[in-house]
Chain A
Amino acid sequence: MAPRPQTDALRGSLDLLVLKTLSLAPMHGWGISQRVQQISGGVLEVNQGSLYPALQRLEKDGLVSSEWGTTDNNRRARYYTLTAAGRRALGTELESWRRFAGGLETVLRTT
C-alpha cells in the first residue's frame, strides 16, 4: 500500500494510542476511539477512517489479534486483543515516544 499522508495531530502516534488502549482490555474499534477521546479529555480525537486501516496493519504485523464477539447489547462486533508481541512493541514504542517527547520538551524549554 502506498503511504497515505496523514494530516491529523495523531500522526505517528495512532499505533501507540491503539496499543496502549488495548493493553487495558480487549475492545472493538468504536470503543477504542471513544476510550482515547475520553481519557484525553476530548483533546485527542481518533480519525475514525484511519483507525481501521491501522488496526488491520497492526493485526498483520502480529501486534494485535481479533475475533468476533458480542457487545453488551448483543451486537456482533470484532474485538481486538493485544498479543504478547504487541505488549513488547508497546514497551518500546512508549520508550521511544517518551524520549521523543522529552527531547521536544527540552528544546521547547530552552529556546
Chain B
Amino acid sequence: MDEEIRLHVELEAERLVREEGLGSPEARRRALVAFGGVERYKEELRDGRGLAWLGGLSLDLRLGARMLAKYPGLSLVSVLGMAVAIAIGALVFGWAAAMLDTTLPLDDGDRIVAVQTERADAPGDIDRQVLHDFVLWRTELTTVRDLGAFQLGDRNLAVEDVVGDGVADVVAVAGMSASGFRVGRVPPLLGRPLVDDDERAGGPPVLVVGEREWRRYFGGDPNIIGRAVRLGETVHTVVGVMPEDFRFPVNHGFWVPLRLDASQYDVGGGPPIQLFGRLADGVTLEQARAQVAAIGHRLAAEYPGTHEHRRPTVVPFARTAEPTASGPEMQWTLYIFQLGACLLLVVIAANVAALVYARTAARTAEIAVRTALGASRARVITQLLVEALVLSAAAAAVGLSIAAFALGWMQRLLAQMGQGLPFWFDLGLSPGMIAYVAGLALLGGTVVGVVPALKATGRRAYGNLQQFAARGSGMQLGPTWTALIIAQVAITVAVLPASVHHASALLRTSMRDSEYPAGEFLRARVSLDREEAPPPPADSAEAAAHQRRFDARFASRAEALLQRLGVEPGVSAAFVSAFPGGEPPYRQFELEGDLAGSNAAADVEGENASVPAAPSAATIGVFDLFDAPIVAGRGFVDADTAEGATAVIVDTAFAARIPGGHVLGRRIRRVEPRRAGAGSEADPAQWLEIVGVVADPPRTSPDPDDVALPNVYRAATTSALRRDGVQATSILLRVRVRSGVTPAFTRRLREMAAATDPGFQLHDVRTDAEVLSREAQTLRTGALAVAFATLSVLLLSAAGIYAMLSFTVAQRRREIGIRVALGANPRRIVNSIFRRASAQLGAGVAVGLLLALALDRATGGMVMGRPSADTVGLRGAVALIPIVGAIVMAVGLLAALGPARRGLAVQPMEALRDE
C-alpha cells in the first residue's frame, strides 16, 4: 500500500517537473498536496481492507489502560476482588490437576502402571502379599513389560565423617527390582543403575544413591563409586548416582536390590511388595487389565484358599500413593469446588459490574456523543468490553501470582509432612492452569463489561444526547438499584463477621506463647530396624516366635535407652504410645454403674453416658516429665505395669467430668467404636480402676478453641507399649532437658540411641518449640489468607455500596437543586436523602442479620467436629455482626454525604437553566 502511493506521488512529481518545469522538491510538495495527505488515505485504505478493528482494538486497549489509571480506587478494588476469585479458581484448578493427572514426569510417564491386587471381600483393601503371583506374572504377562517389585522401609544411614561423627540418620530406602530403572528410562549421573544380576541371592550388597542425597550426605563426592556406606547393619557399596529426575518409586534417593526368594514362602504369603511395570507397546490399560484379570481368575480357581477374593488389576502408577491415590474419588468434589470458584468469580464480577456500571452511567454523555458522531453500537460495546477485559486481565495477572505463591507454599508444606510427597505430585504453574486463568479472566471481563455496555448503549441511550444537553444524565435505575444495595449490604453483614472472627482467632492463636517451656521438651518417634533379622520363616508359629523375639529386643533396648537417659544430668524421659499435643486417638470411656442420663452425657451424641478422653499407655516416668503432681490417690508403681493390671490414673479434667464427685475407685472402660456393618459389638473392653488423679498436663496446643481432652493413663513397660501402641512399628520418646534442648543434646541423644542399638531409628526428632512454631507459622499463613480474602471482600462491598449510593444521590442532584431553588429547607432535603439511604442500608443490615443467624444455626451443630461442642467461636462472630453493620451503615451514609452536599451547592439558577 505504501509502495503504491509512493509510486503515485513520484510519478506525479515527475510529471510536474516534466510538464511545468518545477524544481523537484516543489514538485514533490505539490504532488503530496494534490494527493491530500498520504497518511489519511493509508488509513482509509486500511478501512477498505477490513482491518479497522485492529487500529480500534489497540485504541481500546490504550483507553482501557487509561481508565484503570484514571479511576485508581475503582481499579484497585475491582482488580483485587477479581484477583482473589481468580486466585481461588486457579488454586482449585492446580490442586485438581495435580490430583487427577496420572502422568509421571518420566519418559512416556502415562504408560507406567502398577499391578495391584484388590480384595473382593474388603473393598478398598490392597493385598500386598503377592510374591508368588509376581513370579508368575513376570513370565506370563505380555501386556506389561519390565514388571518389577519394590519394598519400602527406613534404614539407619551411617556415613563416616560426613553426617556428624558417623551418627546415623534415618533414610527411606527402596528395595527395588532392577527393572525399575528400565521403567524410568533415566540414565545414571555416575556409575550404573541396579542390574538384574544384583538381585541374585548372596550377591554383594550394592546401593544406588539419588543426586539430592549424594550432595547432602556425600558432599557431591565425584569418587563416590565404590565407597562403602552402612545401611542398618550392612555395609553397602555405592555403584551409581541417579539424577534428580529419578525419584521412583515414591520419592526415593536410596535403592538396593530386591532379593526375595519366593520358594521360602507359602503361596499367598511373603513380605508385602508393590508391583509396577510399563504397558507394552500398543497395549491399552484395558487390555492389560483384561489379561491380569484373566490370570487372576485362573489363580483363584487354582488356589481357592488364598486367592478366592483376590482381584488383581492394573492402575496408573500415580494411583498407588497418596495424595493422588484418591484422585478419582475426589474428582466430583474437585469439579464442584471448581464450579464454586467460578460462581464466586461471577458474583464478584457482578459486583464489579455494578461499579463499572455506575462509572459507565457517568459516561453516558460521552457515549451519546460518540454515537452521534457515527460510532456504531457494536463499536461502543467493544470499547466498554475491552476496558473490562483490561481490568480482568490485570486481575488475572495478580490472581495467578497469588495462586502460584500459594501453591508453592502448599507444596513445601505438604513435602514437610509425613513421608513427603510422591515425586510426580507437582502443584506448580502449568500451561493448562494459565489457560484456565485466561478463561476465568474472559468470563469475569465479560460479566463486568457486557451488562453495563448493553445497558448504556441500549435504545434509550440515543435519547441521552438530548438529555445530556438539557437535563444531565438520564439513566434510570430504580428498584434494581435498591435491590442491589440491599443484597450487597446483606451479604457483607452476613459473611464478614465470621471470617473476621476466624482470621483474628487464627492470628491470636498463632501469636500466643505456649504456657509451658516448650524448648525443654524433645520428641522423637522410635522404631527398630528389622533389616538384620532374617526374613520371617514360612511357618506361622515360627514367624510369631520371630516377632516375639523382635518385640523383646525392642522392649529391652528401649528400656536400656530410657535408663541411659535417666542417668544423664538434668534429663527426664519417658516412652508413651499416645500423648497430649500430638494426635492421640480419642476414645469414649463409660463409667461403671452409670450407664444412663448424666451430665457427662449431655454433650456427647452417643446414648450411653461416656466421657471422651485420650488414652495413653506410658512408662512410669511420664508424670515427672511435666512435673505434674498427683492430686488424689497414688501414682504408678511397678506392679501397675504387670500384665492384667487394671490401675489407671486420670487427670483432673477427666475427674471433673465424672458425675457424683468421688473418683477414686470408680471403674471405667473403653467403649469400642461400633463399626458400621459389624453385626454384634466386639467384646467389651476390660474394666479399669481409677487409682489416682494427676494434674492436667500443660496445654501444648496454642489454639484456645482446642479444648484439652481429658487424659487417661495406664502404666506400661516398654514391651507392653509395643503391644498396645498406637503404631505397631514405632513408639514415642519424650525427653525433657531442664536446661533446654540444644543441638548438642540432640546429637547426644542420637549417639546414645546408636550406642544402645545400632538399629534404633529416631524419626522426626524435634523440640516441642519447633513443632509449635511450625504450627504457629501455618496458622499465621492461614490467618493471613483469610484476612486477605476478607479485606478484599470488605473493600469491594464498601466500594460497591459507596458507588451505588453516591450514584443514586447523584441522580437526584437536579431535583435537589430545583428544590433548593424553590426555597426548600436544606435540612429537610438532607433528611430525605439520608432517610432513603438509611432505609436501603437498614434493610440490607436486617436481611444480613437474618442470614447470619441462619448460617449460625446451620453450622452451629457441628463445631469442627470437636468432642465438646463449644460455642465460644460463634458467639464471637455474632458479636461482630452489629459492628460490621455499623461500619457498613457508616460507609453508606458517607457515600450519600458527598453527592448530597454537591446537590445542595447547586446554584438555583443552574438547576433551572438545566431545565
Contacts and interface: CB of A to CB of B under 8 A. Distances in A.
16 contacts: A4-B44, A28-B7, A29-B8, A47-B36, A48-B36, A49-B36, A49-B40, A52-B45, A53-B44, A53-B45, A53-B48, A56-B45, A56-B49, A57-B48, A75-B10, A77-B7
Given A76-B3, A77-B4, A52 B12 contact: no
B37 A30 contact: no
Interface in A45-69: 47-49, 52-53, 56-57, 60
A4 B48 CA distance: 12
Given A60-B48, A77-B4, A78-B3, 17 more contacts: A1-B52, A2-B374, A28-B4, A29-B4, A29-B7, A34-B15, A48-B8, A48-B34, A48-B35, A48-B36, A52-B4, A52-B5, A52-B41, A52-B45, A56-B45, A75-B10, A78-B7
Contacts of A75: 7, 10
Contact of B48 (A1, A28, A47, A48): A1
A49 B12 CA distance: 13
A57 B47 CA distance: 10
B824 interface: no
Contact of A30 (B7, B52, B374): B7
B755 interface: no
B314 to A, nearest CB: 61
B38 to A, nearest CB: 9
A30 B4 CA distance: 9
Nearest to B12: A30
B49 A30 contact: no
B7 to A, nearest CB: 5
Contacts of A30: 7-8, 11-12
Chain A: interface size category: 10 to 19
Interface string B499-515: 00000000000000000
Contacts of B41: 49, 52-53
A78 B2 CA distance: 11
Interface in A14-65: 28-30, 34, 47-49, 52-53, 56-57, 60
A73 B36 CA distance: 26
Contacts of A48: 8, 12, 34-36
B15, B47, B374: residue with the most chain A Cβ atoms closer than 10 Å: B47
A77 B7 CA distance: 7
A53 B49 CA distance: 10
Nearest to A56: B48
A38 B374 CA distance: 38
A47 to B, nearest CB: 8
Nearest to B47: A1
Contacts of A56: 45, 48-49
A70 B56 CA distance: 35
Contacts of A57: 48
A38 B4 CA distance: 22
B4, B36, B44: residue with the most chain A Cβ atoms closer than 10 Å: B4
Interface in B5-62: 5, 7-8, 10-12, 15, 34-37, 40-41, 44-45, 47-49, 52
B35 A78 contact: no
Contacts of A49: 35-37, 40-41
Interface string B601-631: 0000000000000000000000000000000
Q: Which 5 pairs of residues, A with B, have the shortest CB-CB distance?
A: A56-B48, A49-B36, A30-B11, A1-B47, A30-B8
A29 B34 CA distance: 14
Nearest to A54: B48
Nearest to A77: B7
B602 to A, nearest CB: 81
Nearest to A34: B15
Contacts of A4: 44
B11 A1 contact: no
Interface in B418-441: none
Contacts of B36: 47-49
Contact of B4 (A1, A34, A53, A78): A78
Interface string A70-106: 0000011110000000000000000000000000000
Nearest to B10: A75
A75 B36 CA distance: 23
A93 to B, nearest CB: 20
Contacts of B374: 2
Contacts of B34: 48
B41 to A, nearest CB: 5
A57 B5 CA distance: 16
A97 to B, nearest CB: 24
A30 B9 CA distance: 8
A66 B374 CA distance: 32
B10 to A, nearest CB: 8
A49 B47 CA distance: 14
A28, A49, A77: residue with the most chain B Cβ atoms closer than 10 Å: A49
B7 A1 contact: no
A30, A53, A57, A75: residue with the most chain B Cβ atoms closer than 10 Å: A30
Contacts of A28: 4, 7-8
Contacts of B45: 52-53, 56
Nearest to B48: A56
A29 B41 CA distance: 14
Interface string A1-17: 11010000000000000
Contacts of B37: 49
Contacts of A47: 36
B60 to A, nearest CB: 18
A56 B4 CA distance: 12
A4 B43 CA distance: 13
B160 to A, nearest CB: 81
Contacts of B11: 30
A3 B47 CA distance: 12
A5 to B, nearest CB: 12
A14 to B, nearest CB: 14
Interface in B145-165: none
Contacts of B35: 48-49
Nearest to A31: B11
Nearest to A60: B48
Contacts of A29: 4, 7-8
Nearest to A3: B374
B43 to A, nearest CB: 10
A29 B5 CA distance: 9
Interface in B110-130: none
Contacts of B8: 28-30, 48, 52
A34 B11 CA distance: 10
